[in-house]
Amino acid sequence: MTRDLSLYRPNVGVVLFHPDRRVWLGRRANTPGPHNWQFPQGGVDPGEDLEVAARRELAEETGARRAVLLKQTTDWMAYDFPPGHGGSKVLRGWKGQKQVWFAFRFEGDENEFDLAAHGPPEFDAWRWAYLEEAAELIVPFKREAYRRVVEAFGDLAAPRQAGSSGRTEPA
């Protein structure tokens, strides 16, 4: 299926890798589970460089600033908002979002994470997890995009241990 990408809001997504190759996941604030964990992501301002947007979103949503670029996807990955999905993006006429994804390695200290550093937080908790888990934990309408992200960045990730969720609570 070919999508008219002009109907999709430009967005960037960030997979932040711990030095041990697990990834950062945030639990969406005020969103009932179980599919409420996701990577940082957000809109791109008009004329904004995509990597600059990714670093801005990472800092705004997590507080993390010390990160080294490892890889990025080359094509837009789009997903549709589900029927009945409310919110400002739908009201502005967007059919969904198109994303370029960035993989960064976190080189800071965990006390850097401040979910409320830039106003009302997107996330109310965070944890390190295995990349493979991400598609299981996200809302269903984003699941296929997350599977593509897992495929794109799988070579950077720690293999999931049998019987392990990869969970660690923040320090």
Exposure string over 23-58, b if 16+ CB within 10 A, otherwise e: bbbbbbeeeeeebbbbbbbbebeeeeebeebbbbbb
Is the pTM for the entire model greater than 0.75?
A: yes
pLDDT at site 147: 96
In Å, how far are 1, 28, 38, 39, 150 from 165, measured between CA atoms? 34, 18, 15, 16, 16
> Cβ contacts of residue 55 below 8 Å, gap of 6+?
65, 67
Predicted local confidence at residue 171, as pLDDT: 38
Question: Residue 25 — very low, low, confident or very high, per pLDDT cuts 50/70/90?
Answer: very high
The CATH classification of domain 9-156, taken from the options 3.90.79.10, 3.40.50.300, 1.10.3720.10, 3.40.50.720: 3.90.79.10
Q: Pull the structure tokens for residue 161.
A: 């241990």
In this prediction, residues 151-170 reach a mean pLDDT of: 74
Q: What pLDDT sits at residue 84?
A: 72
- Average the pLDDT over 155-169 and give the result: 70
The pLDDT value recorded for residue 137 is 96
> What pLDDT was estimated at residue 119?
85
pLDDT at residue 166 is higher than 70: no
Closest CA to 33 of 118, 96, 124: 124
Give CA–CA dist 85/90, Å, rounded.
7
59-97, pLDDT tens digit by residue? 999 999 999 999 999 999 999 988 876 665 655 678 999
Q: Are strands 123-129 and 77-80 parallel, antiparallel or unpaired?
A: unpaired
How large is the average pLDDT for residues 20-39? 95
